[in-house]
Each structure stands twice: as structure tokens, then as C-alpha cells.
A and B are shown apart, each in its own frame.
Chain A
Amino acid sequence: MECQDYGLNRNIERDNLNLNPLQRGGVLTKEARKALYEFSDGYSVCDYCAGRLDEISRPAIHHFLDDLAEFIGADHVRTVHGAREGKFAVMHALCKPGDTIVVDGNAHYTTHLAAERNQLNIAEVPSNDYPEYRITPESFREELEYQEDYGDDVSLALLTHVDGDYGNLTDAQAIGKIAHDHGVPLLLNCAYSMGRLPVDAQAFNADFVVGSGHKSMAASGPIGVMGLKDEWADTVLKLSKKHAVKEIEMLGCTSRGAPVATLMASLPYVIERVKKWEYEVSKTRLFVDKMEKIGGIKQIGVKPKEHDLVRFETPVFDDIAGKHPRRGFFLYEELKKRKIVGIKRGQTKWFKCSSYGFTQEQTDYIANSFAEIVEKYK
């Protein structure tokens, strides 16, 4: 059998400025690139394993997990395959099929799937209306109270710390407190925050936090982080009866080899970059300013921005598309000419983007390119 050409090359990130928010936080550090090469073989971290991934001392995964726990303010940490697997594991350990969980209205689809796979019912906390789509502590309280009065027992509350649609940052601390006041543990989904901005599970009143290595922690992945309070360790990190050292929810071992090695290699850098979060936010605000000044472009979601993920409504590009021979493809093609990618082909009504990790010069170049395109077709 002759295999087909799988086209395994990717120069996108090297040659272009990639605006897709999904791509911005997972770019490897040079230390991680080296670790990727060093640990590229299958079970490369398992040479000195005595049965537990989290206790391996060479490479020092045990020390890495201690550092990671300190970094995110959790008592225990495990790496998992992604934020979604972390959410699934917590739900699976805490809830029974048919249970109800309260989830914010901006939750990621993976939250819904994790609940569905666990056969849980979702009670949704609505966001406020267009154009903010803000999740407020008040609406969380109302939903929990509603469930108390008319609904079922709530096994878990899940809050998306920063959502992937609008890049809205929620008030985790206040919502965590409300959940606790109602006797409900809080799982905070930090896929878009851990590794970008400071996350402190303890300060946020979160019983569980999950993060995404490949999304926001400069790791090659698939890898996620699950942090928990000590009081939940027996439930979530329960050991197998048949294989005494193995943790059931982790199916024994989770992410091995290159994913964990790259996350480890990047951690010192990630710890430092989080300290520069304010700079990223101010760069984003400046970018939004420049984009809105073009005219016919409006930032959706909470204003001013508190996160690098920006959603724009762009009637100006939609109008051009209506008259352009290439229709909706014109924007993608004009950007591509300027070596900017990450906006979906054919999309002109709205798009999401991020300049996280780009220099000010690169970010200005992006805003100027959008302005140039509008100017060209005015």
C-alpha cells in the first residue's frame, strides 16, 4: 500500500501574522521547541516511571507539578489532554447521570459536550444582551436561587473565565463566592486565561480550575491542566481498586511525551509573560481603537477590552463584499497579500482576532492593513 501525500508542512506561522485567537497563546517558546525535539519519541518521559506520571522524577514532572500548582493557586495539579478532558474528569467524579449543573451562557461547546457525555442536565445562566454579552454575578445568583426554589439539586457550577466568542473576562471571585454561598462547588474554565493572565484558584474561590496548554500556555499539546482544592482530592484523584497506584479519572496516565515536555519547558517563560498581561491588554485596546477609527467596524463584547480576544462586527467589509467580484473572499485574499492570516475565508460580517504576543509594530501593521483595504475599496 502506498500512502498518500499528507502535506505535512506548515509555514503559516513563520511567514504570516496569524490573527486567529486560537493560535496566539500556543506558539512554542524556543525552550519548548528544543524539548519537542528532545522528547519527540512516544513514551519519552516514561524511562524512569514507577507507575505514576505525576511522580516521575526524570524529567522532574513531580517538581513541575508543584510549581504549576503554586502558579495557579491550587493544592493539587494534574496534566490532562486538554481543558475539555479536565472538565469531563471533574464532572465525572462529582456528578451522577441526570444531575444538574449550572453553566454560564458563554460556555465553550466542549463544556456542553463534557456534560452531555456525563449525561448531565445544563441550567444556563444567560448573558446580558447585544452588544456586551456580559455574564454577571447577579445572573449567576438568580439561576442558583431558581434551581434551589424550582429545580433540582445542583452538583456543580461551571464558569468560563474568558469565553471564546467575545473574550469577556468574568468576575470569577464574586461568582465563586456566590456558588459557595449556595453550597455548590465551582469549576472555572481558564482555557483562555491560564498562561495569559494571572489565575489564582484560591483567590477566585474556585474548587477546580482547568487550563489549556496548547491554547494559552505555549505548549504543543494536546495538553491541559486541572487544578483542585485539597478537599476534592479523594473524589477526583480516586485510586483504582485493581491497580492500586493508578488514578481512575486520569485513566492511569494522561498526556505523555512531547506535550508535557513542551509545557514544562515553557512554564518559566509563561510565569514571566503573565506578569506582562497589562501590556497585552493596553495593546489590545489601542488596536481596537485603531480598528474602530477606520469606520464601519465595531467591537462587540465588554468594553473596554480586558482580554486579547476581540470580536468585531464589520459591516464595512460586508458592504465591499456585496460589490466585489470575489464576493466574501476578497477580505481573506487582501489580507493574505499582506501576509496576514487567521480570518476565515469568505467571512466579512464579523470576525474574531487577537494580536497576543505580537509586537506593537506588528500590531500596528495589522490595523494599518485593515485601514488600507477599506481605503482601497472606498
Chain B
Amino acid sequence: MDKIRYKQAQKLINEAGKFTGNREVLKKPQEGIIDSKLFGEILNDMMDLEDYILESRPTHYLKKEKAQEFCQQIITIRGQLDVLLGDFGVLEKPDVEGEIKTLSDKYLILIPKSNFKKVLTKFTVDPQKIVVTGVPLEIEDMKKLNPHLPDAALKSIEKKISHVKNDINRKMGQFNLENVLVMVEEDDSGEILAERARELYNAKTVSLGSLKDLTSDEFLKILSGL
């Protein structure tokens, strides 16, 4: 699991590098209001970084994993600085929702719970391109998660699974989709669902600590990094 996250972070960093490098055009500042709260946050975040300086004395050399952490924090700060500049028209404010709409359009997104669907649709993902699975994608997976389920319960779950799979196939055909993205939480059931979706649909997988806490900026970063 850690490896997946590590790779994700690596990708995000690469993407973020490209993202600004290619598009950044600085315009003449216009009048505007300083976001003083954000200003304070930036200073605080910068001060956090001093620990890397102290711990790496005297060479200031960072091994790969520390370097990833350090750079990730700087990228966050850079994003915050862009927002400050955006308030004065120096940088165009990114159209996060528009970009999510464009980038998510080619995916059928599988999610385990319906409450996350609301989050995604708020980010402008087309609700028709989301499938809430609610159950694993194979009955064996259900048995792994809960070995003591009575037969009757298993029967109804089997039915639900076939329904979900039909739904997936129908939507892929209807919207002409070739890519499946599965988004899960970092727990056993999430891992099992992701694994099976990879196997059945060659799905891309994203696992997060908490799906419902995902922000639109983070989701955009994930989509751009896929």
C-alpha cells in the first residue's frame, strides 16, 4: 500500500513540475486584496521546512524519501503562493472544476460507497460515469472479507455483484469508455476491490486515507497524475 502511495506522490511531483513549467505566464499585478490568512499559512509552512535543514546538517543532503517529503511540502507552498498571486491577477486562477470535468470524462469511476458520489459530482464529475459498487466484484472476495456469512446472504450478494458488473459493462458501452478508475480507502475491503478491478478491467487505482475528505485540488492532481 505504501508503495502505491509513494508512486502516486512521485507522479504528482512530476506532473506538478510540468504543469507550471509549461503554462506559467505572469501578468502585471492588478489591484486586489491580500489573503492575510493564507499569507500566515505560507509562512508557517515555510517554517516547518527548517527542520529538514537542521536534521540534514552539515551536508543538507536528503535521501530520496526525505527529498520527496520536502519537495511535496514546497509544492504545496508554491500552490499557495500562486493563489496569492492569483488574487492580483498575476497568475490566472486555475479553472479546477473545468479541468476535472475534462480529465475525468474518459473514465468510468468505481467507488465503494455512495456518500463519495456526492463529493465527486460536486467536483463536476458526470454522475452517469460513476458506479457505486457497494460490494466486492467477486463472491470469493466477499468470503475473504467475511468468512461467516450465511448462504442466503451470499446469494443476494452474488446477485448484487452481477448487477454491478452489468452496470459497468453497460456504461462503458453507452459512453464509449475504455478506462476504469477505482477509488478506494486504505483498508482491506478497499485493497481487495482495487486489486479485482485491476484484474477485471485493467483499472487504474487510487487509494486514500479518507475519500470524503478529498478536495477538488487534490482530485485534480490525482487526475493529472494518472
B51 within 8 A of A: yes
CA distance A13 to B51 in the complex (A): 12
Q: Are A14 and B47 in contact (CB under 8 A)?
A: no
B53 within 8 A of A: yes
Q: Are A37 and B58 in contact (CB under 8 A)?
A: no
Judged by DSSP, the binding face of A is helix
Q: Are B57 and A362 in contact (CB under 8 A)?
A: yes
Q: Which A-B residue pairs are the 9 nearest by beta carbons?
A: A339-B58, A33-B47, A34-B44, A14-B53, A30-B48, A17-B57, A34-B47, A17-B58, A30-B51
- A10-25, CB < 8 A from B: 13-17
Given A33-B47, A37-B43, residue A13 in contact with residue B58 (CB < 8 A): no
Chain A residue at smallest Cβ distance from B44 = A34
Q: Are A340 and B58 in contact (CB under 8 A)?
A: yes
Q: Are B58 and A16 in contact (CB under 8 A)?
A: yes
B53 cross-chain contacts in A, Cβ below 8 A: 14
A235 within 8 A of B: no
Taking the nearest CB of chain B, how far is it from the CB of A276, in angstroms?
16
A371 within 8 A of B: no
B2 within 8 A of A: no
Q: Are B55 and A359 in contact (CB under 8 A)?
A: yes
B50 within 8 A of A: yes
A27 within 8 A of B: yes
Produce 1/0 per residue, A289-320, CB < 8 A to B: 00000000000000000000000000000000
Q: Among B50, B57, B58, B60, point to the contact of A30 (Cβ < 8 A).
A: B50
CA distance A16 to B54 in the complex (A): 9
A43 within 8 A of B: no
Q: Are A365 and B55 in contact (CB under 8 A)?
A: no
Q: Are A27 and B44 in contact (CB under 8 A)?
A: no
Q: Are B55 and A30 in contact (CB under 8 A)?
A: no
- List 14 A-B residue pairs with CB atoms under 8 Å apart, sorted by A's residue number: A14-B50, A14-B54, A16-B57, A16-B58, A27-B54, A30-B47, A30-B51, A33-B50, A34-B44, A37-B44, A338-B58, A339-B58, A340-B58, A359-B55
Taking the nearest CB of chain A, how far is it from the CB of B55, in angstroms?
7
Given A34-B44, A37-B43, residue A15 in contact with residue B57 (CB < 8 A): yes
Tell which of B47, B48, B55, B58 has the most Cβ of chain A within 10 Å.
B58
Taking the nearest CB of chain B, how far is it from the CB of A146, in angstroms?
49
A362 cross-chain contacts in B, Cβ below 8 A: 57-58
A359 cross-chain contacts in B, Cβ below 8 A: 55
- B25-84, CB < 8 A from A: 43-44, 47-48, 50-51, 53-55, 57-58, 60
B55 cross-chain contacts in A, Cβ below 8 A: 359
Taking the nearest CB of chain B, how far is it from the CB of A357, in angstroms?
9
CA distance A308 to B43 in the complex (A): 33
B54 cross-chain contacts in A, Cβ below 8 A: 13-14, 27
Chain B residue at smallest Cβ distance from A28 = B50
Q: Are A15 and B58 in contact (CB under 8 A)?
A: yes
Taking the nearest CB of chain B, how far is it from the CB of A176, in angstroms?
37
Q: Are B58 and A365 in contact (CB under 8 A)?
A: yes
Tell which of B47, B48, B55 has the most Cβ of chain A within 10 Å.
B47
Chain A residue at smallest Cβ distance from B59 = A339
CA distance A226 to B183 in the complex (A): 56
5 more A-B contacts (CB under 8 A) besides A34-B43, A359-B55? Answer: A14-B53, A16-B57, A16-B58, A34-B44, A365-B58
B51 cross-chain contacts in A, Cβ below 8 A: 30
Tell which of A17, A30, A340 has the most Cβ of chain B within 10 Å.
A30
Q: Are B57 and A37 in contact (CB under 8 A)?
A: no
B43 cross-chain contacts in A, Cβ below 8 A: 34, 37
A338 cross-chain contacts in B, Cβ below 8 A: 58
- A33-73, CB < 8 A from B: 33-34, 37
B48 cross-chain contacts in A, Cβ below 8 A: 30
Taking the nearest CB of chain A, how far is it from the CB of B62, in angstroms?
13
CA distance A30 to B58 in the complex (A): 19
A339 cross-chain contacts in B, Cβ below 8 A: 57-58
CA distance A362 to B61 in the complex (A): 12
Chain B residue at smallest Cβ distance from A369 = B58
Taking the nearest CB of chain B, how far is it from the CB of A342, in angstroms?
12
CA distance A34 to B51 in the complex (A): 12
